[in-house]
Amino acid sequence: MTENTASTATSPRPTGRRRASRAAGPAGGATATSTGVPVETPKTVKVRLARPAGPPPRRPAHRALVCWAALATVLVAVIALSAGVARLVYTQHKAEAAQAQDQLYVDTASQFVVNMFSYTQDTIDQSVDRFVNSTSGPLRDMMSQGQNTENLKLLFRDTNASAEAVINGAALEKYDDTAKRADVLVAVRVTVTDLDGNNAPSKPYRLRVSVQQGDNGQMTFYDLKYPDGGN
């Protein structure tokens, strides 16, 4: 067994001065400046959401067929509108023609009555002949019998006066399209003036005048009646 002698024993490390320890950083109490490492900001990433599945794409329409269909629709609308306008114009024209025809009968009847009642001593023959020549049918037969025309002239001469007729009103009562004949109610007022120019009180008359239209369009004085009957 080996003895440990002083010469062989490990001499202890001499004790030296201990260094003072301090925190890391600059000396002298200076403020520590932090040195940062630059870090790049991450870019924004846009995420696209998947669209929901829709119906399958439609087949493109046949343009020529669409154009023809549209043209046909417009053409039908134009034809229908034209037909409506034509019908309206025809209806209006027909109504106006009928109204004008009715007014012609009324005006003719009124003129016949004026001719029948109006005369002067100097124009008795002309006035009576004009009235008789405008008659037809039953009225013409009555005036042609015997001396009725001459008797009417004598009656006017015996008055030693003149007469003037004024129509107060006239209206169509009925119209027979087959016979082309109309009955017109006429209200007339007759004023007789003697040879000295004195007027007698006017006398009102109400008459039913029948007007006949011939094939040539000529209007004639067909018949004359009072509304309460009688010729």
For the chain, list the domains and their CATH numbers.
80-225 (3.10.450.230)
Q: What pLDDT does 69 receive?
A: 80
Could you identify the residue written with the tokens 């053409």? 75
Distance in angstroms (rounded) separating the CA atoms of residues 119 and 161? 9
The per-residue pLDDT for 167 is 96
pLDDT of 57: 63
pLDDT at 23: 53
| Structure confidence at residue 66 (pLDDT) | 73
Helix ranges (DSSP H) in the chain: 63-117, 124-133, 137-144, 148-158
Tens place of pLDDT per residue across the chain (231 aa): 444 444 444 445 555 555 545 555 555 554 545 555 565 666 665 656 556 656 666 665 567 777 888 888 888 888 888 888 888 887 887 788 888 889 999 999 999 999 999 999 999 999 999 999 999 999 999 998 889 999 999 999 998 999 999 999 999 999 998 999 999 999 999 999 998 889 999 999 999 999 999 988 899 999 998 766 544
Q: Determine the pLDDT at residue 40.
A: 65
What is the model's pLDDT at position 9? 46
Task: Answer for the pair 145, 173: CB distance below 8 angstroms, yes or no.
Answer: no
Q: Which of 180, 177, 184, 182 is nearest to 214 (CA)?
A: 180
**Nearest partner of 212 among 147, 134, 148, 149, judged by Cα:** 134
Q: Which residues pair with residue 182 across a beta bridge?
A: 175, 211
Could you give the dihedral angle defined by the CA atoms of residues 98, 100, 105 and 109, in that order, rounded to the nearest 10 degrees?
A: 150
Q: CB of 110 within 8 A of CB of 167?
A: yes
The count of residues in the chain is 231
Cβ(164)–Cβ(103) below 8 Å: no
pLDDT attached to residue 65: 76
Return the pLDDT at 7: 44
* DSSP assignment of 24-37: SS-GGGPPPPP-PP
